[in-house]
Amino acid sequence: MGKPTIVEKDIDKIIKQQHSNGQIRATINLKEAILSTDISFICVGTPSTNDGHLNLEYVFKVVEEIGKSLKEKNNFHIIVIRSTVFPGTNKNVGKIIEKFSGKIRNIDFAVVSNPEFLREGSAVQDYFNPPVTFIGSDSEKALNIMAEIYGDLNGPIKKVDIKEAEIIKYVNNSFHALKITFANEIGNICKKLGIDSHKVMELFIMDKKLNISPYYFKPGYAYGGSCLPKDLKGLNTIAHDNYLNTPVLSAIEYSNSYQKKVAYDMITKTGKRKIGIIGLSFKQGTDDLRHSPAVELVEKLLGKGLKISIYDKNVNYTNLSGTNKDYIDTHIPHLVKLISSDFNKVIESSEVIVITQKDANITPDIFKKYNKDIIDLVNIKPSTELNNYYGICW
């Protein structure tokens, strides 16, 4: 009859028109659907279980039926997973299909992970105008076919690793939830202070260079400096003084401290005593040591009794003046003797090299000639030939 089973803007017009044109039909016979098509999109629900996992029962059930149906098919068939699933599901789906079909993955069939980002109420508009369409598969043939299918959409198509495609929906929606909660907590604070929260957030999103941008979305070490810790603490104090509970804002510093612990544990678990630190200031391109997570790390390692050598081309005690010199003299005078201007000397005297900031002159290739453990906190992107290399969260 050409009528949709859901209410969604414009979907009724599309289904009616394409049904009239003979381009779309519905059936409850899964085998008929498989045998008469080249591609199957799995769009079943994956509700949460009581313990927070996803219930993939419906996915695996339909995959089993697809596998049984493919027994009778000789043509190459593509199974596209649109449902939100756990990383690793693509691989399991392939195994199930092989088991029930007797077919061989990437010869007789292929599995593509293609997460959907359609919002209810604007799904049609979102489909035709996606920010990006992700497709992940271990079959180049399937990827090329899917790229051709999506070729007319108004947005880029990105071929990605299968597990990247499987997890990106979680990342997107968790960040969206974070944005909403962040805005609500800011709103609560502004209301208490008699400030128009909507105008404040309008001002906030005007900054497209830092606030709404790729900046800071780089997994690595903890943040530091004189601004972020101070202003975050100040905002949390304002909330506290006004008897407001701000769980998200309050948890930021806890999470940042945890990342410092991750780095410390990586270093101490090597069991080695001589540690070389590349970068001491709170970020590259500055000599500011105030609230530097690298300084905090060094202090903690010294407390463990480890031998520390430090190289930072921007931190030279004889050249420091003003606030930075005062800070060293007052808070960390014992670190001065650990700082060397000789990069090679620091490397050669250390068993473990910890990279806390990037330096254009220090490339991954430099470390190839040294047989040292490398603990990378900033993603220097080494080649696969670099031995004993460990990234903090990659």
**pLDDT number for residue 120:** 86
Range of the domain at 83: 11-170
56, part of any domain: yes
**pLDDT number for residue 225:** 85
Alpha carbons 68 and 343: distance in angstroms, whole number: 63
Domain stops at, among 125, 152, 170? 170
244, part of any domain: no
Q: Are residues 151 and 261 in the same domain?
A: no
Positions marked catalytic: 227
Count other Cβ atoms within 10 Å, centred on residue 103.
19
Q: Are residues 297 and 155 in the same domain?
A: no
Domain stops at, among 170, 205, 220? 170
The DSSP code sequence of 21-34 is TTS----S-HHHHH
Domain stops at, among 170, 195, 211? 170
374, part of any domain: yes
88, part of any domain: yes
191, part of any domain: no
Q: Are residues 160 and 19 in the same domain?
A: yes
Strands 389-391 and 373-376, by their bridges, are parallel
Q: Are residues 157 and 265 in the same domain?
A: no
Q: Are residues 37 and 139 in the same domain?
A: yes
Q: Are residues 162 and 297 in the same domain?
A: no
**pLDDT number for residue 391:** 92
Total count of domains within the chain: 2
Sheet of 389-391, strands arranged across: 339-340, 307-311, 274-278, 352-355, 373-376, 389-391
Q: What is the pTM of this model?
A: 0.83
Q: Are residues 161 and 17 in the same domain?
A: yes
**pLDDT number for residue 4:** 87
Alpha carbons 87 and 113: distance in angstroms, whole number: 10
Count other Cβ atoms within 10 Å, centred on residue 384.
6
Strands 157-160 and 274-278, by their bridges, are unpaired
Residue 252: CA count within 13 A, CB half-sphere? 18
Residue partners of 309: CB distance under 8 A and separation at least 6: 274, 275, 276, 277, 338, 340, 345, 346, 349, 350
Alpha carbons 318 and 202: distance in angstroms, whole number: 46
214, part of any domain: no
Alpha carbons 343 and 115: distance in angstroms, whole number: 46
* Rg of the chain taking only CA atoms, in angstroms: 27
Alpha carbons 27 and 44: distance in angstroms, whole number: 16
Q: Are residues 164 and 290 in the same domain?
A: no
Q: What is the pLDDT along the chain (394 residues), one digit of tens a residue?
A: 888 888 899 999 999 999 999 999 999 999 999 999 999 999 999 988 888 888 999 999 999 999 999 999 999 999 999 999 999 999 999 999 999 999 999 999 999 999 999 888 899 999 999 999 999 999 999 999 999 999 999 999 999 999 999 999 999 999 999 999 999 999 999 999 999 999 999 999 999 999 999 988 999 999 998 788 988 999 999 999 999 999 999 999 999 999 999 999 999 999 999 999 999 988 888 888 888 999 999 999 999 999 999 999 888 777 766 777 777 888 788 888 899 999 999 999 999 999 999 887 787 778 888 888 999 999 988 766 777 899 999 9
Vertex 124: Cα angle to 123 and 127 (nearest 5): 85
CATH of the domain at 339: 3.40.50.720
323, part of any domain: yes
**pLDDT number for residue 320:** 67
Q: Are residues 158 and 40 in the same domain?
A: yes
Is the separation of the CB atoms in 90 and 81 below 8 Å? yes
Which helix (H) or strand (E) segment holds residue 239: the answer is: helix 228-241
**pLDDT number for residue 6:** 84
114, part of any domain: yes
